[in-house]
Structure 1
Amino acid sequence: MPEEPSALDGLPRLRRLAEVTELAAVVHPLYVRFSGGPDQDAAATSRDHESGCLLPGLSVNPMNPEPWWDRPVEHWVARQLCQYAHLMTPERFPWLLTGTVAGRGPDCEPLLVDVVPAASVDPAVVEEAGRLYREVFDAGDDGT
């Protein structure tokens, strides 16, 4: 029996950090999510794991830098990919999307509705982002 078509079918699969950075430069707003993909997310209800509260949208990370960001866009993108890289498993992968912010989650992350998938991100990009992150940031420095 053939597999059901996926919402990611026909979308680009980004294989380099530079490709993700280029997309973030032209698509606003752009977000990243680590999950089983848009089809799985559409069939589930998002919950805050600690409280059990229903969330009004999908938890995402912004890929477009804030106006105060005075470093290369690639640094922002790498940092955002690394923030939730611990969620990546064989069943959960990074994908890029856009949509409407319906609220904020418990970590103040945007919660999206009216989601439109933009691309999938190869796990090798997260590894590349991790190398850049360690090279250009003082990871774990809290300023004290």
Structure 2
Amino acid sequence: MKEAHHGREMAVIGSLDELTGLIGRSSDLYVRWSRGPDVDLPEPSSRDDLTGIELPGLSANPLAVEDWWGQRPLRTWVARRLHDYSHLPRVKDPRVKPWLLHGREAGRGPDNEPLVRDVQPLGWVDGKVIAEAEEEIAQQRGRWGPLNRQ
């Protein structure tokens, strides 16, 4: 399925399992929560909310699995990475949606997040995937939630 959002038509990743399969094949995939590539790519930089400083890339959440994760389920890893910032549409802008991208890390932002350059948009992450991620996280034993600072 393809979906247009702000003028750009991209594939839609429709399930957590589909996204997990993509992560298993590449180590430089990221998810970005924003209004989309059409808004972000003309001037690919983020801005520090506290100081207003322009950053040397787009803030993104890395999906590469860390070695310490070991043999734990990749699906849980991906769910956690999505869930981390799932609050952004509520607190920043309801037009914010997650999208998958391939890119090159150019530095770190003020929250130690990767700043990504040479961005290639790969697809929108459907809202159903976020719901599946929330279900996956709810099945875990520990207390934990998104990185919502409010």
User: By the TM > 0.5 criterion, same fold?
Assistant: yes
Compute the RMSD of aligned alpha carbons. 1.9
Give the 3-state SS of the residue equivalent to 1:34 in structure 2.
strand
Letter aligned with residue 57 of structure 1: G
Counterpart-to-counterpart distance in 1, 2:36 and 2:78: 20
Counterpart-to-counterpart distance in 2, 1:26 and 1:83: 22
Task: Structure 1: state its 5+ residue gaps.
Answer: none
Letter aligned with residue 84 of structure 2: Q
Counterpart-to-counterpart distance in 1, 2:74 and 2:17: 10
Letter aligned with residue 54 of structure 1: E
- Find the counterpart in structure 2 of residue 115 from structure 1: 119
Contact map agreement 2:6 2:38 (CA 8 A) in 1: no
Structure 1 runs, 4 residues or longer, greater than 3 Å off: none
1:17 and 2:21 equivalent? no
Give the 3-state SS of the residue equivalent to 1:85 in structure 2.
coil
Letter aligned with residue 124 of structure 1: K
1:124 and 2:125 equivalent? no
- Find the counterpart in structure 2 of residue 57 from structure 1: 57
- Find the counterpart in structure 2 of residue 77 from structure 1: 78
Letter aligned with residue 78 of structure 1: A
Percent of residue pairs bearing the same amino acid type: 44
Measured at CA, do residues 138 and 102 of structure 1 come closer, stay the same or move farther in structure 2, by a change above 3 Å?
Answer: same
How far has the Cα of 1:101 moved from its partner? Answer: 0.7
- Find the counterpart in structure 2 of residue 95 from structure 1: 99
How far has the Cα of 1:133 moved from its partner? Answer: 0.7
How far has the Cα of 1:75 moved from its partner? Answer: 0.7
Q: Report how many residues are paired.
A: 136
Task: Structure 2: state its 5+ residue gaps.
Answer: 146-150
| 1:104-123 Cα deviation digits (max 9, x unpaired) | 01111100011001111101
| 1:61-87 Cα deviation digits (max 9, x unpaired) | 111211111211111100000000001
TM-score normalized by structure 1?
0.86
How far has the Cα of 1:28 moved from its partner? Answer: 2.3
TM-score normalized by structure 2?
0.83
Counterpart-to-counterpart distance in 2, 1:4 and 1:42: 12
Measured at CA, do residues 16 and 4 of structure 1 come closer, stay the same or move farther in structure 2, by a change above 3 Å?
Answer: closer
